[in-house]
Structure 1
């Protein structure tokens, strides 16, 4: 908890500088100075400097999203409306220029993996907050699909924020169409027979367990 509060202080102190210097060494140095955090502690928490600072900014936003969603009653909304609401809420919690600078940072080849994991983290936060209980391969497909949707939404939001609501609705329709297609394939006797082997293999894939340090595992003896 103490480390989380320290990271929050650093991120809050960094935001006024990001617009000018991006998520780079100058911003980190200014954040350390403005926040009063011990420089050694700051560098221990952010060993990769500005990249880790940008990721801390992203994860703090996801944590706030989870808190907000947990406090809301969304039972009156259809599921697609809940997902759309969660995406809109996540954007409302973000600083557009800070996100723009972070997106440029993640676009660098050496940071692409971190950017992808950040999108996945947001998708996981949304699915978990909305009560997803899947523990099989659907755990992955749901998050992969929503990661792609959220990534597209962020890029659109950075360029045309005034049309973002309609864009989100269109992307959510794409997700719903994908889920409907999956359901039809499983119900069709021809495609069900064709997919029997691959689906049997996929059934062995399980979502990550709290004690696992890997992105899921394959059930033994399944």
Structure 2
């Protein structure tokens, strides 16, 4: 029930975000427009519009997951599946200005940890939807790398005025290619004399384990 009310507040807030950002004024307007009891609204969104911005982002992740579950990805290369997922996440966004205002909000020092968690959550959702089964250090490295790709692509997308965001998708493809080149370089390094010399010290990374909970942190050390 609280999630339904929060989504109702988010929908009402979108009409005001372009003018007032994810601000107290937007939260008050969303409460008034949605008809949600102010006491209830404050209970489910103790940080006001900040919590609405978080819910807006998480709703986008949920829409992306649903789209990926219904997509035919079997014939795609894995790199193309990742690119497809990131692209779908942005294409399903109902309000680009709301994302822009959210990026500004979560760039503030006191909200930056929340913004980082949201980006990580999107990367985690993509890997899980694509069937990632890693539970060791690779679990973290995959999500860290994709978080960087996603964040950079969002920033490019926000300023992209090309038709159908063609420049953004080209940018995304280049970032994915960079990641693939890095993975190849990492593999070559591991086979090199220096990589072999460092093999034993690096074994400690193999003791890292993915978290047992859905929160994504803090993980385990075996």
TM-score (norm 1): 0.93
CA RMSD in angstroms, aligned pairs only: 1.6
Task: Select the residue among 160, 170, 182 that pairs with 1:166.
Answer: 170
Q: 1:136 to 1:28 in 2, by over 3 A?
A: same
Which position in structure 1 is the counterpart of 2:16?
Answer: 17
Alpha-carbon distance between aligned partners in 2 of 1:183 and 1:135, rounded to the nearest angstrom: 19
Indicate yes or no: 2:134 matched with 1:134: yes
Alpha-carbon distance between aligned partners in 2 of 1:58 and 1:68, rounded to the nearest angstrom: 16
Structure 1: give runs of 5+ residues left out of the alignment: none
Which position in structure 1 is the counterpart of 2:179?
Answer: 175
Which position in structure 1 is the counterpart of 2:121?
Answer: 121
Offset of 1:117 from its aligned partner? 0.9
Q: After TM superposition, where is structure 1 displaced by more than 3 Å over at least 4 residues in a row?
A: 211-214
Q: 1:45 to 1:74 in 2, by over 3 A?
A: same
Indicate yes or no: 2:201 matched with 1:198: yes
Q: 1:204 to 1:161 in 2, by over 3 A?
A: farther
Alpha-carbon distance between aligned partners in 2 of 1:183 and 1:116, rounded to the nearest angstrom: 28
Offset of 1:211 from its aligned partner? 8.0
Which position in structure 1 is the counterpart of 2:219?
Answer: 216
Offset of 1:176 from its aligned partner? 1.1
Alpha-carbon distance between aligned partners in 2 of 1:138 and 1:213, rounded to the nearest angstrom: 14
Offset of 1:189 from its aligned partner? 4.9
Which position in structure 1 is the counterpart of 2:98?
Answer: 98
Which position in structure 1 is the counterpart of 2:27?
Answer: 28
Offset of 1:180 from its aligned partner? 1.7
Offset of 1:123 from its aligned partner? 0.5
Q: 1:53 to 1:73 in 2, by over 3 A?
A: same
TM-score (norm 2): 0.93
Give the stretch that moved more between structures: 32-41 or 57-66. Answer: 32-41
Q: 1:147 to 1:214 in 2, by over 3 A?
A: closer
Alpha-carbon distance between aligned partners in 2 of 1:171 and 1:93, rounded to the nearest angstrom: 21
Offset of 1:104 from its aligned partner? 0.6
Offset of 1:199 from its aligned partner? 2.2
Alpha-carbon distance between aligned partners in 2 of 1:213 and 1:98, rounded to the nearest angstrom: 25
Alpha-carbon distance between aligned partners in 1 of 2:161 and 2:149, rounded to the nearest angstrom: 16
Could you say what secondary structure the match of 1:15 adopts?
A: helix
Offset of 1:169 from its aligned partner? 0.6
Which position in structure 2 is the counterpart of 1:185?
Answer: 189
